[in-house]
Amino acid sequence: MFTPLAYAELMRLAQRSHAINQPCTCQSKSFAGWEGLPVSLKESQLREVGSLIAAEEEDLTLDEYHPANTSYWSPDAPIAPQFFPYNRCRVCECVTCGRVYLRYAEAGAYHIEQRIRSLDPGLMVDVAFEGVGRA
């Protein structure tokens, strides 16, 4: 298990990833917003390089951060590591091209779905949990 990444380290990974422009099979979709992990993207292609999980699962908030009326599915929703679902994410890197993604398991009523989203530095926000707007 990884120690949770500091915001500065997460930003460094995001900036490095965002600068990659070579084509790769990991880009079957843009993953700008949350997507189900496609079968075309093999588990072996993604290597865990960090975590945003800072507490036991039962202590993690389910509150989301959407100050500009975005939603969970919005491609322009902020990436706020202290809020759901980011607080449950692993940070993974494509072993082929080096792009970095956020991943977590969405537990539904009848199944678990792996979700993935690109780590976009332009959408990252470093906000404290107390005193902010919640979804």
Domains of the chain by residue range: 7-123
Q: Which residues of the chain have pLDDT under 70?
A: 1, 57, 129-135
Note the pLDDT of residue 129.
Answer: 56
Note the pLDDT of residue 110.
Answer: 80
DSSP-derived 3-state class of residue 10 = helix
Note the pLDDT of residue 135.
Answer: 45
H or E element: which one contains 37? none
33 touches 55 (CB < 8 A): no
Peptide bond before residue 67 is cis, with ω within 30 degrees of 0: no
Whole-model pTM: value is: 0.90
